[in-house]
Structure 1
Amino acid sequence: MNVDDMLALSGDMARYQYLLMVLFSVIHVLSAFHYFAQTFISLEPEHWCAGSGLECMEPDQNGSMRACSSGWQYNLTGGFNTAVSELNWVCDDNWKPAVGQSLFFVGSVLGTLGLGIMADHIGRLPVLVLANVLALLGNVATSFTYGLTDFAASRLLAGLATDNNFFMMYIIVMEYMRPDMRTLGLNVCGVFYCLASAALPWLALLSGEWRHFLLYVSAPMLLVISYYWLLPESARWLIDQGRASEAARCFQRIAAYNGRGQIPSAAMDMFVDRVGRKALGSASLLFTGLFIGAAGITLATQGDDASDLLTAALGIVGRFGIGIAYNTGVQYAAELIPTEVRGQGVGLIHVAGYAATFFSPHILYLANYWRAIPELIIGSLSIVGAALYLLLQETTNKALPQTLEEGETFGEGEGVWEFACCKRRRSSVVSP
């Protein structure tokens, strides 16, 4: 069975694909809620010791200063009571919220590895549902905690869901969309992640306190349980598992829903599909490295005399390049990794990303030795990444590899400097 042929026959960009995009948009909203909620519950508001008006100290009977023992008063932004203000995790106890956040990321590493391996054995769809249920349970459990131990354990449980609560859906949607429409469809859905992130502060203010806030943003995750019946399992994974008849039923279901509705693809091609993953990913990393490095050198050499407009422009262009590189890389990785190990492969990539975040504070600290060091490190890594991109095979408008053997032979004979845009241009010149 040829998956791409079956998808074309059943409808590769019609009503069912729009349904997938709607469901994926919901996942984007829930993922943003889950990931950023911990920031709001752990905010440390302005505070002072009730007995002295000082931040952490108060005078004793002899006039000497001692640690505050009479409790704290807080200036709650918008009246939002955080876990920090309710549990008085300030001053000598201000390390406690960081423990919860750290264990959340430890959980994300463990969950990404464990659930990624599980996805390659039991399927993408069950893991998608399981991850969102874990996120729900972890957040609900957090809202009923009153001490560091149960708070940290609950954050660890919630962290197990990240990023599989999002990426399993990404894989399913990508596999059921026509190759030249994947970029458009996946990135349109990504807009809802930004909208949800922007809405979170207002939800926090409306909820009034952190426990209700966690419950409000977590309750909609119950909707994902219905995805088990609304979504098809990955047809490529089913075929790889020898369950071709089930894959055929998935396509029959899509065909029945789509009917004859089709839309032309030429009017909706996006830039990345014209240029290709390889060229756009490499170029965006190269420009990121050059502009971020230039921003660091400008700040280091000119100091306070550096033009605000120039440094802002360099930083914005560099940040724009990072955004393009990330979006391209997420799709590129999922397309390059063969179906039978896609869950594990994508999981390892995300683990590497989370591991790198542990070094970010230390990289920033190097600015104390020379202001440009952090930017030069990031810029150098970006340029190295741009060079490594050239060693990969182009995936634009190609059938995805399903087995490890297909992955080994995928793109054989393709040169380092071969790009999808150049091939298209050459073919148009040769064609009569």
Structure 2
Amino acid sequence: MYATFNMLGSVFFTATPSYHCKVPQVYENVTLAPYNNLSSRLFPPNTSFPTDQDVNRVVPGKCSIVIRNVGNDTEDFISAWTGQSDGNRTELPCPEGRTYAKDIYTSTVVSEFDLACGSEWQVSTSKSVFFIGKLIGDIISGVISDRFGRRPSVLLALMVSVLLGIATALIPSMVVYVVSQGIQGVLNGFYFNVAYTIAVEFVGPSKRNSAAISMTYFFTLGYFVLVLFAYFIRDWRHLALALYAPCILFGFFWLTLPESFRWLLSRGRHSEAEELLRKVARWNKVDVKEGDIQGVLKTSRDAKALAETFTPLDLVKTRRRLAITASMCFIWMVNGMVYYGVSLGTEDLGGNLYVNFTLMGAIEIPAYAFAIYAVNKIGRRTTLIGTMLLGGIGCLVSGCLTSDVHWLIVTFAIIGKMGISASFVIIWLFTAECYPTVMRIIAIGMGSAFARFGSALGPQIMMLKDLVSYLPMVIFGLNAIAAGFLAMLLPETVNRKLPQNIREFDTLLNSAGLFGHCKAAATDSDNGSESFPTEDTPSDPDVDAKLMKNGTPAHSEDCTTSAPNNVLRRGSK
């Protein structure tokens, strides 16, 4: 939930109030009394106008002022103001900046640092810098947390992020704001990834689905908390304080959060791991036998030895692997681009920002529920294709509609958000199931990196609205549709045992045709025997036990093998 504040708080921090040019000071001495009724309809209250004999009429626009020299009689004056006559017209950029309305927002980054009329790029840059920082955080989080431990890594990153968030209320300039957003991105990628790792490492395989999904729903809950605070607090500095200051209580996690059991095993700290395991067992009122502990230790050593023998290059060494990996990376990139492009561009939909933002968050609840249900009933690939196409069509239609049907624009944008939210969940699961155990974390890390790249592109694409209003949503829609068609290249993984090694991975790629139709089992070219799976493949006892309970051999090759879905991963969006 805290991650939502980090990632989407800028929607309200950088909201753009209505604005117009300040009237130059030279014209502020005299109020145009004879024409108050006319001026009150055309300009904001307290706007001053000149009444010199050589009449210069100043019309303040949004990004420029227009000076018209006309006659001093009433008829000429009214003609000039109503646009029926220009007189001698001179247009100049706002010489003294802009005045921002305070009817909706008391203060925002845009109004305080005057970021309208050609300076909007600074706002979109700050959002992109955040996701570039998040990409860096994704990369270094694994290295540092593996070296120093999950617990100190996540808590230190979290507390630094909170303190930096509180310091946001004191930011003196836009440059400092952009830099702080980049640092927040690094910290966000760091603490979210490590927290997710702790969540899935601290539970058994059969509970990982629940652990991952709970994080997903808390991220969505953050939408509602954020918009509630933003609705009642209209000053961006005060909003930052209200969001971040209570989070200083995260410091108490130092007293309660344990180290990851699996990390302790990986570092050879077996006595600490055993003590932690016994502590958890006592809490759950479960007896732990010595044989169980030794079995876990051996499994951990074997898995580590296997994982150390592979690199990202192994993902693309054959044509099939290259095609699958390239498709996966593009799908990841599009999901990040569209999800955050639409979420951060909520204000550009028009209408009430608070209502639109709430709807954008609320639609994720049925999106995730549908994804969880459909991936088992319909299949991973079919559901991914369908949700990507739904997201693409929703965005495409939303972009092509005219402003006079605003409610339809918002409706189709929400439909697009629903589709892309569901596909974002599924691609985590799909990647985890498609790649073998020995390469799974590498594949997920690569996909996540492409998602961050896409997330950084999203705000920049939204800037294209200043050229052509419908262009951003059309780009989002077409890319999502293209990703949906590319998903047809992926193998179906529903009801299949997860591949454990490279040979099983290649067999999986060869065993499914286009549109999910299963082919005959591939054979090993050396001996003609079925190569997926092999008898010496280490298996997940949680999976095997459930399969045998259903009366199906755990090592069946048939596409209809009943395998449980115990890994529905989303990690850090």
In structure 1, stretches of 5+ residues that fail to align are: 1-28, 262-269
Deviations along 1:351-400, one digit per CA (max 9) or x if unpaired, are: 2102123555659889989x9775443223223235324379956xx8xx
- More displaced stretch, 112-121 vs 407-416: 407-416
Task: After TM superposition, give the deviation of residue 32 of structure 1 in Å.
Answer: 0.9
Is 1:78 equivalent to 2:93 in the alignment? no
In the alignment, structure 2 segments of 5+ residues that lack a partner are 24-58, 70-88, 288-368, 513-517, 522-542, 555-573
Give the deviation of 1:197 after TM superposition: 0.9
For residue 112 of structure 1, report the CA deviation from its aligned partner: 1.6
Which residue pairs with 1:116 in the alignment?
142
Which residue, 436, 455, 464 being the options, matches 1:357? 455
Alignment of 1:367-406 (within 5 A): 375-390=477-492
The 1:250/1:394 distance shift into structure 2, 3 A limit, reads farther
Letter in 2 for 1:325: S
Letter in 2 for 1:166: F
Which among 396, 413, 426 is matched to residue 328 of structure 1?
Answer: 426
User: Is residue 2:255 matched to residue 1:229?
Assistant: yes
SS of the aligned residue for 2:187 comes to coil
| One-letter identity of the residue aligned with 2:65 | E
Identity of aligned residues (%): 23
- In structure 2, the partner of 1:259 is 285
Using the TM superposition, name which of 277-286 and 246-255 deviates more. 277-286
Cα shift readout 1:100-138 (whole Å, capped 9, x = no counterpart): 223222211222212232122222222221331232233
Give the CA deviation at 1:202: 2.8
How many Å apart are 1:47 and its aligned residue?
A: 0.6
Does the 8 Å CA contact 1:132/1:221 hold for their aligned counterparts?
Answer: no
CA distance in 2, matches of 1:317, 1:133: 36
Q: Secondary structure at the match of 2:276?
A: helix
Q: 2-side partners of 1:34 and 1:425: how far apart?
A: 45
For the pair shown, the structure with the greater C-alpha radius of gyration is: 2
Q: Does structure 2 conserve the Cα–Cα contact (< 8 Å) formed by 1:104 and 1:159?
A: yes
Q: Give the corresponding residue for 2:309.
A: none
- Tell me, yes or no, if structure 1 residue 49 matches structure 2 residue 151: no
The yes-or-no answer on 1:246 pairing with 2:272 is yes
- Deviation of 1:341 after TM superposition, in Å, equals 8.6
Note the 1:56-71 alignment, pairs <5 A: 56-59=63-66, 64-71=90-97
Q: Distance in 2 between matches of 1:236 and 1:157?
A: 29
1:118–1:127 Cα contact (<8 Å) kept: yes
Alignment counterpart, residue 219 of structure 1, candidates 235, 242, 245? 245
Shift of 1:97: 2.5
* Partner-residue secondary structure (3-state), 1:43: coil
Shift of 1:426: 12
1:243-266 deviations in Å (ceiling 9; x for gaps)? 2222212211211222259xxxxx
Deviation at 1:46, TM superposition (A): 0.6
Say which is worse superposed, 149-158 or 75-84, in terms of deviation. 75-84
- How far off its partner does 1:33 sit? 1.2
Instruction: Give the alignment of 1:90-109 within 5 angstroms.
Output: 90-109=116-135
Are the aligned partners of 2:129 and 2:456 in contact in 1 as well (CA < 8 Å)? Answer: no
Counterpart residue type for residue 33 of structure 1: F
Deviations 1:45-98 (A, max 9, x none): 111112144212124697622121334322235343112112222224333323
Deviates further, 382-391 or 270-279: 270-279
- Counterpart of 2:207 (choices 181, 187, 190) is 181
Q: Is the CA contact 2:375–2:494 (under 8 Å) kept in the aligned structure 1? A: no
TM-score (norm. length: structure 1): 0.70
Letter in 2 for 1:286: I
| Deviation, structure 1 residue 143 | 2.3
Cross-structure match for 1:30: 2
User: In 1, distance between residues paired with 2:106 and 2:438?
Assistant: 47
Deviations 1:314-363 (A, max 9, x none): 98777545333322333565688899998776544322102123555659
Aligned length: 380
SS of the aligned residue for 1:76 comes to coil
Distance 1:282 1:40 in 2: 36
SS of the equivalent of 1:161 reads: helix
Kept in 2, the 8 Å contact 1:280–1:328? The answer is: no
Equivalent residue in structure 1 for 2:161, among 124, 135, 140: 135
* 2:152 counterpart of 1:146: no
Distance in structure 2 (CA, Å) of the matches to 1:339 and 1:235: 19
- Does structure 1 retain, via aligned residues, the 8 Å contact 2:21–2:60? yes
String of CA shifts for 1:273-294, please: whole Å, max 9, x gaps. 8987797431211223454566
Contact kept in structure 2, 1:58 and 1:65, CA below 8 Å: yes
- Contact 2:136 2:189 (8 Å CA) reproduced: no
Q: Is the 8 A contact 1:238 1:247 kept in 2?
A: yes
- Aligned pair in 2 of structure 1 residues 197, 278: CA closer, same or farther (>3 Å)? same
Distance 1:124 1:297, change over 3 A: closer
Task: Give RMSD over aligned pairs.
Answer: 4.6
Contact 2:133 2:185 in 1 (8 A): yes
Q: Equivalents in 2 of 1:179, 1:115: separation in Å?
A: 23
- Residues 76 and 280 (structure 1 numbering): CA distance in 2 closer, same or farther, change over 3 Å? farther
Residue of structure 2 equivalent to 1:126:
152
Greater RCO (CA < 8 Å, at least 6 residues apart): 1
Q: Output the amino acid matched with 2:381.
A: S
Contact in 2 for aligned 1:113/1:348 (Cα 8 Å): no
* Paired residues of 2:133 and 2:182 also in contact (CA < 8 A): yes
2:182 equivalent to 1:156: yes
Q: Give deviations 1:26-51, integer Å, cap 9, x for gaps.
A: xxx21111111122111111111121
Distance 1:384 1:254, change over 3 A: same
Give the match for residue 222 of structure 2.
196
Alignment of 1:302-317 (within 5 A): none
C-alpha contact (below 8 Å) 2:17/2:101 kept by paired residues = yes
The separation in 2 between residues aligned to 1:339 and 1:237, in whole angstroms, is: 17
Q: Which segment is superposed worse, 54-63 or 225-234?
A: 54-63
**Aligned-pair CA distance for 1:412:** 8.7
Partner-residue secondary structure (3-state), 1:58: strand
TM-score by length of 2: 0.55
Counterpart Cα distance in 2 of 1:337 and 1:228:
35
Choose from 11, 15, 33 the match for 1:39.
Answer: 11
Check whether the contact 1:281–1:386 (CA below 8 A) recurs between aligned residues. no
Partner residue of 1:9? Answer: none
The answer to whether the Cα contact below 8 Å between 2:21 and 2:64 also exists between their aligned partners in 1 is: yes
- Whether the aligned pair in 2 keeps the contact of 1:143 and 1:212 (CA below 8 Å) is yes
| 1:144 partner amino acid | L
| Per-residue deviation, 1:228 | 3.7
Q: Structure 2 vs 1, CA of residues 273 and 73 (structure 1 numbering), >3 Å: closer, same or farther?
A: closer
